[in-house]
Amino acid sequence: MKPEFAVSLMCMDLLNVKEQLDILNKRVDMYHVDIMDGHYCKNITLSPDFVKACATATDIPMDAHLMTENPNDWIEILAAAGARYISPHAETINKDAFRTMNRIRDLGCMAGIVLNPATTLDSIRHYLPRLNMVTIMTVDVGFAGQPFIAEMLGKIEEAAEFKVKEGLSYKIQIDGSCNEKTFKQLRDAGAEVFILGTSGLFGLDRDLNSAYDKMLQRYTRVTGEQV
């Protein structure tokens, strides 16, 4: 599978959202939108209103990453706002995981799930066939710029092997420290979608087009894979 790149919108220049979307719309595969309630993790970033505003300026799919204690309070409003994927954390839906996945699908969205570093793939094994995307965190939740947790490479391999063995179609997405230092390890382990933040994109150049070119060049250099 050709690698895909998702851009973390919480890392963009929020004073120039429209200008940056105009550039990214021509290049990226997906947008990653962090929705935090200040309780599940001690931070607050983007909102359903932000998703709704961005939906007027892009046709690129948006993935709403729900770092919230009660994800079911957010699903309907995010679907209405224009999210294409809705991805709660596994720990927050243990008591009603199948009902939550069905609700996301019934609203016309793709069903995703997010695994914290300490959360095992086994904890979601029974509903993996219902998922369109599995996001594996390679940093702890809540803040940008954290160090890469190398132990997650084994979890990525496990997700990739299970996908092939069971003939499933979910995308394996990586959230946290995706950059030239980790691209090869992640890709070799089975990563398919890379979420780009400050170290992987926005910090590479003040000119966003140049930054994206540099990201692609670095990806190709370290992986040997032309994109």
CATH code, domain with 109: 3.20.20.70
For position 154, what pLDDT does the model report?
A: 97
pLDDT by residue (tens digit) across 2-61?
999 999 999 999 999 999 999 999 999 999 999 988 777 777 888 999 999 999 999 999
47 Cβ contact list (under 8 Å, min separation 6): 35
Cβ atoms within 10 A of the Cβ of 176, count?
Answer: 25
Q: What pLDDT digit, counting tens, does each position of 184-204 carry? A: 999 999 999 999 999 999 999
Q: Which residues are known to be catalytic?
A: 34, 175
User: CB under 8 Å to 80, separation ≥6 — which residues?
Assistant: none
Average pLDDT for residues 157-179, to the nearest whole number?
97
- In the prediction, which pLDDT does 145 show? 61
pTM over 0.75: yes
Domain that holds residue 145: 4-223
Rounded alpha-carbon distances, angstroms, from residue 68 to 3, 168, 220: 28, 27, 35
What's the pLDDT at 166?
A: 97
Q: How many domains does the chain have?
A: 1
User: CA torsion sign, 205 to 208 to 212 to 213?
Assistant: negative
